[in-house]
Each structure stands twice: as C-alpha cells, then as structure tokens.
Structure 1
Amino acid sequence: MNPFTPTFGTSPPLLVGRDRDLDEFRDGLYGGPGSPERATLVTGLRGTGKTVMLNAYEDAAASEGWLVISETATRGLIDRITHEHLPRLLIEADPRATESHLTAVSFPGGLGVEREVTERHTPRPGLRSRLTELTELLAERGGSGVLLTVDEVHRQGLDDLRILGATIQHAFRERREVAFVGAGLPSAVDDLLSDDVSTFLRRADRRHLRTVGRDDVAQALAVPIRDAGRDITPDALQIAVNGTGGYPFLIQLVGLHIWRADPGQGLIDVDQAQHGVDHARRRIGQLVHASALADLSTVDRSFLAAMAHDDGPSRTSDLATRLNVDRTYVGQYRRRLIAAEVIEPRGYGLVDFTLPGLRDYLREHAASSHWASGDET
C-alpha cells in the first residue's frame, strides 16, 4: 500500500522538521497557565502543513490527557463550541452527568415503578460559563486542561474570533488550564490582527512554517518507503529530495508518484524517481498554485507572469520594462507579493518565486489567461 498522503489536512506517515515547535508546545502545557505557547498562531503558505501541525498539536495535548476541541473558522464557530463540543465533553468528563430519581414504587399486583432521568449538562448558550464549568470539573479530578484549535482563521470569521479570544483571555487571567492554537495564511492572519481583536490574539506566539531541510526530507521519503516493504537507491532518493524543494505537501506528492512509477519493483531507482518528480510537479499546479494565484489581483498575477520569463531570479528593472511601468509601480507590487510570501528578495534588485514549480505553471498557463492584461489592483 502506498504510504504517502498528499491530501490537505491529512497527517503524513512521518512528520519531520517540526520537532522544536512541538517540544516547545509540550513545554507550554507542562509550564502551566501563563506559558506563552498556550496561545499560538501557526502561519504558512498553502501546502506547508498548517493543518497537519494542528493535528500534531492536538495529538500532543491528547497524549498528556488534555481534552481537545478541533474547529474551523467558519460561520457558527461559537455556536458549535458552546452547544456541541463543550456539552459533549462535560457529559464525558462528569460521572454525575446523568441523574435519576424514583417517581413511583411498585408492589406485587399494584403500582409500577417509574424513574425520571435527566441530563445535568444540557446544551445552552454561554461559552465562558461552559468552559469555566469544564475546567473546574477537570481541576476537581486533578486532571488536565482543554485545548481549542481553530483552522483557517481569517477576517470573515472576525466576530466569532473576537468572542473566542475574549473568552480564552478571561480563562488565562483566571489561570485556568486552557490552551489555544489557530492556523491560517500569513496574509489572512496579519489582516485579522490589524482589526479590533483581543490583545490575547495579538500577543499569541507566532509559528511560521517554512520549507523543510534536506536531511529531514530524505527521512520523510525513505522511512515510509522502507517501512512499507520497499527501498530506494541513494541516487534516486537525492532526485526525489531535490524535486520537493523542501515543500511539505510536495514531499507527500513526490513520494506518492515515485511509489506509483513501478509498484511491482522492490527497489525504486533513478528512472522511477525522476518519473515521480515530473508527475508531482505537474500535479502541484492544479492542487496548490491555482488556489494561491486565485487570491491575488490581476496586476499581482501579471507581475508574476512577467517574472516567469526568467529562468532564475528576476531583476525589477527588467520587470518594469516588460510591464511598461516605472520602478515605483514595480516596487509597490514587489512589496505586496513579498508580504504575501509568493516571492522573496534574492539580493539587491532581485526577486524569485517561493513556491516550487510556480514558474513552470505560470509559463504554461499565463499566455492563455487574462492575467497578463487588465488594471485590477
């Protein structure tokens, strides 16, 4: 069976390059209320493993006996936490959650027995009161705490995130055993924090996910292959490592396709590795680049299309010529795209793509699209 899982939000067979983040999060759980890691915001580009990291944080907390509420910042977030998650956890955690009492007694040939059963913890509004009730119950048992994770945080969920932030901030002030981890795109998180949100969110520990080092990539590819009963030659492994660019989602995608290249062979060779890399590079455009570009303006995409003419880093002076604009105009969009982490500076007057394979994707698609024209900003 193919061990690789290039599906967004699905944990890989081996998570690499994130040990320090997870160790520090565990330290925060051990450190008690006031530990900075108990309020964490995870950011990163698409495919860098934000949701996978949330899964890992949840697993780390659960292994320490913490209760976990896992959510996404969509409409109704507060309602779901208040009326679904917290009552469920209260019922599971409280041995007295169900009460009963006799309403009648029977005798031979006479009156029957009736017992009325009621739930002590029925869903009702009140996020703060429910969270307080649960943490107090856990404290009575000498136990753990509650971790809340929220994926895809963005401005559209601002009202619910304000309420959640204020509630967790109160829990922190009362030194309750509560932790929070949110995740989102860097631009979405920055946009959210620029608005009127609680101080709690602004002061949260920021963890920005970047590419993974070569040694970690090699481990992430070779170990699952060997654990699944096959092997890979050193040269083939290097081709696969180079093909990922250290990009977490691409590690899984390359792994999937090098495995599929000739699944009947016990040893993955150079030809299979190159075939898998080529296939994965074609697929990542549809799976990642199309979504990333859809978030950008027409002019932003035109800027990237102009960059795609170069085989390496682009000179901003050349981009100004290709776009028929002055350098001030180029500088404005250069700053925007760097902030969005789609491009990065590579020396004075030079920029390059951050996403592996984006140049090839743009070359293939830009000519037949509307990206190279228009004046949208």
Structure 2
Amino acid sequence: MDPVRNPYAPGAGQRPPELAGRDEQLAAFDVTLERVAHGRPERSVVLTGLRGVGKTVLLNAQRSAAVRADWGTGKLEARPDQPLRRPLASALHMAIRELGHPQSDDVLGTVKAFAARDVGSGRMRDRWNPGIDVPATTGRADSGDMEIDLVELLTDVGGLAADVGRGVAIFVDEMQDLRPEDVSALCAACHELSQNRLPVVVVGAGLPHLPAVLSASKSYSERLFRYSRVDRLDREAADRALVSPAHDEGVEFTPGALAEMYAATAGYPYFVQAYGKAVWDAAAGSPITVDDVRVAAPEAEEELGVGFFGSRFERATPAEREYLRAMAETAVADRAGEVEAGEPDSVPTAAVAAHLDRKPQSLSPARDALLKKGLIYSGERGRIAFTVPHFGRYLRATAG
C-alpha cells in the first residue's frame, strides 16, 4: 500500500495516531489538575515502566492536558551527568512565561538566582545566561544548598500561580537519572508544596526502579507521589491502536491478522507501531491478512534489531555484553515458562555469576556500568532485569 499514507509512527517519544490504553491515566491526571486548581490536597505523579511502553508519550499527553487547563508548564529530561538546577530553571522559566502575570519578574529573578548558583565555588556564575532579562534575586534560592533553594524556589512559583488563580506543572522525563541530592531536594520541595496546598504539580517518568530511587532518598516518598505503572497494552487496546488509524485511511485488518500482530508484539506500544508500519508497507491492499503480517515480520524484526535493540547493545563494552547475554540465558533457565512471551521479570545476580562461573564481586563493574547506562535495573536487592522488553529474546536469537 501507499507508504505516504502509512499512519503508524515508531519513534522515541513520538505520539502514535491512536493513543490506546491510556484513558484511565489521562482521566486520573485531569482529576489531579481540577483538584489542585480548587485548592484540594493532591499528590504529584510518577509514571514508571520499561523502555518502549510509551511513558514519554503519556507524559507529553498529560502536559497537553495541563496546557488545555490553562496551566503554566515546563519539561526537562534528566541526565546523570547534569545537575538539576539549569534544566529545571529553563522549564520553570517557560511555565512562568505561560502564566503571563505582571508580577512574574520577581519570581523570574529567583529562578535566575537558583540557576546561576555555582555550588562548587559558592559564587554566582556570570557567564551563563538562562535567557531571563531581569536581575537575579539576592537571598532567595541562592544559598547553594539544593534542598533549601528548591523549596524556596517552588514555594515562590506556587505563590505566583496561586495569585494568578492557575497552576504550574513541571514534567521530568528519565527521572531515575537525577543525582541523589537532586532527588532529595525535589522530594522535599514536593512535600512542602503539598503541605501548603500550592498549585504546583511535578510529573515524573522513569524506569521501574524509580519508586525505589525516591524511597531511598526520602522515607515519605511513597506517600508523596501517586505511582502509575505504564505497561504493555491488552489485546483490545493493541487492536485499537492498529485498527483506528488504518480505518481512517480506508484499510481494515482481518481478525487473524490482528491475532498474529498481538502474538508478535505482545502489546508493547513501540512494537505495535513498528510492526504496523512494516505490515502496511508490505500489504498489497485491504484487508490486511495473516500472510501480510508474516511476510512483513522479518522487516519489522530487522528494524527493531537495529534501532531498538542493537543500538542499545552497541553501547555496551565486551564485558558488559557478556553480562547481558548471561542474563538472557540465565532468565530462561531460572523461570522458563512462567511469564507470558518468555520474558521473565528479573533474574538473581548470583545466578548470572554462576552461569559465567565467576565470583559475583568480579562482575560488579560490568553490572554497575549497565545500571548507569540504563540497560538493566534492580527492582529488588539481589535481582536485575532488562529495561527493554524482549531484550533477552533478542540476545538469545543473535547469540554467537
């Protein structure tokens, strides 16, 4: 069929034509916006899930909902090598500008002071300009103590939003990559906002171990955030993600083709889009059949192998790749048949070491490096898992 009319969109954070299976989370966020706008107590939100399940897409959809509610919004992506001050200041700068209040200059001065503080030297950095055309405030959010400064900053932002009669929402992607001191400060600031019922909401998205990261920082974090797991789509939602955009183009799927697609993708949103794109291009016309899916499967798997799996595997060193393959092989032996689609949730680190006939301590450097690269995560002590669905299956298929 005509590739120009192909409606499917596999891409990092790219919104699919039909955002299926996320109605409940979007509705819950609308309630959060309404409650905060009316001065009701409400928690900030944390989205967790594997790579490719659509966390960033959902985060962006929630930001769009906040914009429709006339809130000020800003977004940042956390990076392990970058302190929070500057990206958060840029996000808040955008949110405050969207509020458009005449008295916002005072708060923007506080944002500038917060951003420019050089924690290492205790001095203000004059060279870096965050694009805020007002003088930096003195004596507010500029102490150099991240927790004190962030509490003061978000309190001022919340006060401005309350005066305007609107709200501010800050969206943090890859939240698990925040530095420990920044996580602690963010938790403390959210706690302060909640206690004072200020109209500021933080929405974070990250890997499955993000709740553990937050809990390790502040013991009250499990009560501070509303956690929402973003998982693979059930059969009905996966079918809708395929059928609805195809129907808009006058194309249908046979029931057998939809069943074959779900068997291949297991409902993971990125896989649904990748297979949808390949099948559309391979099909001669409507309706799309089982044979079309089977003909297109190698193309879809190749695209996933290069762009989704392979690119991540290439980031690993030889020692790290050995560890990843051992995880994949251990997973089958450890819990074969227990989890649908043959992808166990996690494996014991001791079992990986035993598989390689090595002492666990000797593998710590490779494991820690993979954790920092975001290729694996530890949801509980002594166990590890891939951050990418079906990564173990890919590694087993490409062994040797």
TM-score (ref. length: structure 2): 0.68
1:15 counterpart = 2:48: no
Note the C-alpha offset of 1:232: 2.3
Note the C-alpha offset of 1:43: 1.2
The answer for the alignment partner of 2:64 in structure 1 is 59
Whether the aligned pair in 1 keeps the contact of 2:232 and 2:268 (CA below 8 Å) is yes
Alignment equivalent of 2:8, drawn from 4, 7, 12: 4
Aligned length: 324
Gaps spanning 5+ residues in structure 2: where?
106-130, 142-149, 339-343, 361-366, 368-376
State how 1:145-294 maps to structure 2 within 5 Å.
145-154=167-176, 156-187=178-209, 189-190=210-211, 192-193=213-214, 195-197=216-218, 199-200=220-221, 203-262=224-283, 265-290=285-310
- What amino acid sits opposite 1:355 in the alignment? P
Alignment equivalent of 1:90, drawn from 88, 96, 112: 96
* CA–CA distance in structure 2, aligned partners of residues 290 and 43 of structure 1: 23
Whether the aligned pair in 2 keeps the contact of 1:61 and 1:147 (CA below 8 Å) is yes
* CA–CA distance in structure 2, aligned partners of residues 64 and 261 of structure 1: 42
Whether the aligned pair in 2 keeps the contact of 1:240 and 1:274 (CA below 8 Å) is no
Cα distance per residue 1:174-226 (max 9 Å; x no partner): 11011111111113x15523533473476322212222111111111010111
Report which stretch shifted further, 66-75 or 218-227.
66-75
Gaps spanning 5+ residues in structure 1: where?
100-118, 344-353, 368-377
Compared CA separation, residues 139 and 86, structure 1 to 2 (3 A): same
User: 1:150 is paired with a residue of what secondary structure?
Assistant: strand
The answer for the alignment partner of 1:305 in structure 2 is 329
- What amino acid sits opposite 1:136 in the alignment? G
* CA–CA distance in structure 2, aligned partners of residues 15 and 255 of structure 1: 14
The answer for the alignment partner of 2:120 in structure 1 is none
Note the C-alpha offset of 1:340: 4.0
* CA–CA distance in structure 1, aligned partners of residues 219 and 334 of structure 2: 44
- What amino acid sits opposite 2:169 in the alignment? L
Compared CA separation, residues 185 and 202, structure 1 to 2 (3 A): farther
Whether the aligned pair in 2 keeps the contact of 1:48 and 1:209 (CA below 8 Å) is yes
* CA–CA distance in structure 2, aligned partners of residues 80 and 342 of structure 1: 28
Compared CA separation, residues 340 and 224, structure 1 to 2 (3 A): farther
Whether the aligned pair in 2 keeps the contact of 1:78 and 1:164 (CA below 8 Å) is no
Cα distance per residue 1:137-182 (max 9 Å; x no partner): 333333x211111111225522333333322322222110111111
Compared CA separation, residues 305 and 245, structure 1 to 2 (3 A): same
The answer for the alignment partner of 1:138 in structure 2 is 161
Report which stretch shifted further, 206-215 or 275-284.
275-284
The answer for the alignment partner of 2:88 in structure 1 is 81
State how 1:284-363 maps to structure 2 within 5 Å.
284-290=304-310, 298-299=322-323, 301-307=325-331, 313=337, 323=355, 339-342=383-386, 355-356=389-390, 358-359=392-393, 361-363=394-396
1:364 counterpart = 2:364: no
The answer for the alignment partner of 2:32 in structure 1 is 28
RMSD: 3.9
User: 1:165 is paired with a residue of what secondary structure?
Assistant: helix
Alignment equivalent of 2:52, drawn from 28, 39, 47: 47
Cα distance per residue 1:61-83 (max 9 Å; x no partner): 2222222111111214322322x
TM-score (ref. length: structure 1): 0.72
Whether the aligned pair in 2 keeps the contact of 1:29 and 1:35 (CA below 8 Å) is no
The structure with more radius of gyration = 1
Report which stretch shifted further, 291-300 or 127-136.
291-300
User: 2:52 is paired with a residue of what secondary structure?
Assistant: coil
- What amino acid sits opposite 1:81 in the alignment? L
Note the C-alpha offset of 1:240: 1.8
User: 1:231 is paired with a residue of what secondary structure?
Assistant: coil
Compared CA separation, residues 221 and 310, structure 1 to 2 (3 A): farther
User: 2:12 is paired with a residue of what secondary structure?
Assistant: coil
* CA–CA distance in structure 2, aligned partners of residues 45 and 197 of structure 1: 24
* CA–CA distance in structure 2, aligned partners of residues 357 and 204 of structure 1: 30
Whether the aligned pair in 2 keeps the contact of 1:41 and 1:181 (CA below 8 Å) is yes
* CA–CA distance in structure 1, aligned partners of residues 133 and 161 of structure 2: 15
* CA–CA distance in structure 2, aligned partners of residues 81 and 246 of structure 1: 34
Compared CA separation, residues 173 and 233, structure 1 to 2 (3 A): same
Note the C-alpha offset of 1:277: 3.2
- What amino acid sits opposite 1:288 in the alignment? F
Compared CA separation, residues 239 and 139, structure 1 to 2 (3 A): same
